[in-house]
Amino acid sequence: MLNITTARKARKKGIELNIAPLIDMTFILLIFFLVTTSFVRETGVDINRPIAATAVSKKRVNILIGITKDNRIFMDNREIDPRAVGANVERALAENPEGSVIIVADRESRTGIVIKVMDECRLAGAKNVSLAASLPSQEK
């Protein structure tokens, strides 16, 4: 036989919803997306890229080096000395050994400084060094 007081107590308790597992799952998803996302580091300067009809866009770029029209070199939003390019690229490659280097040089920058930066990148161990260019349809 059913006890009436037990039935009344069960009705008064109500339903409890435990949201702790939901919060745990949300934080796990947040951590997953933060760990798997690759962040693009910008050069820190506005560059007027040269135009190339054969320019190809790259999917993954890890190291960007900017060269302004007055031949100043920027990496990770700070100006660096031309002699320090190799050390900075080595440090960036230590974080990501499969990283590729893209040199974003202004169309008015000197060729000599661009070649020097490319050489420093290769001496630092970068296997994939490219120059950035704009397609004719992307001209400013």
Domain ranges of the chain: 4-36, 63-138
Task: Say which residues have a Cβ less than 8 Å from residue 62's Cβ, sequence separation at least 6.
Answer: 38, 41, 92, 96, 98, 99, 100, 101
User: How many whole angstroms from its chain centre is CA 50?
Assistant: 23
The whole-model pTM stands at 0.61
Say yes or no: domain 63-138 is CATH 3.40.120.10. Answer: no
pLDDT in tens, 52-107: 766 676 666 678 899 998 999 998 888 999 889 999 999 988 888 888 888 988 88
Per-residue pLDDT at 116: 93
pLDDT band of residue 130 (cuts 50, 70, 90) is: confident
